[in-house]
Each structure stands twice: as structure tokens, then as C-alpha cells.
Amino acid sequence: MTTLDLLNEGQKARILDVSGEDAIAIRLMEMGLTDGEEVEHLGCAPLGDPIEFLIRGYRLSLRSTEASRVIVERIV
């Protein structure tokens, strides 16, 4: 178990949960980050943050602080 911001480039993971019930958690879930979904880390911005992910077939960028709210398990 780890969080989304700790994935390496190219790694895939399955979402277990989104922590918190605030606006950020809700927004993350509204964007499709719900449990059971598969996510792929596509790369970072030139300055290291935000991070780009592939979720539900589209490309989403998240700051690492937001990505750390998403609890995932790595898919090997």
C-alpha cells in the first residue's frame, strides 16, 4: 500500500481509497479517482510538480500534495 505521489514514472497502480471528505477529496473522486480504478504515472512537470496520470483513458495532472491523498496498491 502506498500513495499515488510515490509512484515512479511508468508505474501502474490500483486505487484503494481517497482519504478525507473535504473539497479536494470530492474533486479527486469527481475526476474519476474512485476505488478499484487503475492509474498510471505518466511523468512530472519540468520543475518536478505537478504529476501527470492516466485515469479512465484521459490525462489528469495533480499536485503531489493532492496525489498523496490517493491510497493505491502497485500493480506488478
Q: Is 29 in the site for another protein (CB under 8 A)?
A: yes
Neighbours of 32 (CB within 10 A): 14
The residue (of 11 and 61) whose beta carbon lies closer to another protein is 61
Site for another protein in 36-55 (CB under 8 A): 43-50, 52, 54
Measured between alpha carbons, how far is 51 from 36 in angstroms, rounded to an integer? 20
The residues, ordered by sequence, that sit 6+ positions from 9 with a Cβ below 8 Å of its Cβ are: 41, 42, 43, 44
Q: Is 8 in the site for another protein (CB under 8 A)?
A: no
Give the binding site for another protein (CB under 8 A).
18, 21-24, 26-32, 34-35, 43-50, 52, 54, 56-63, 66
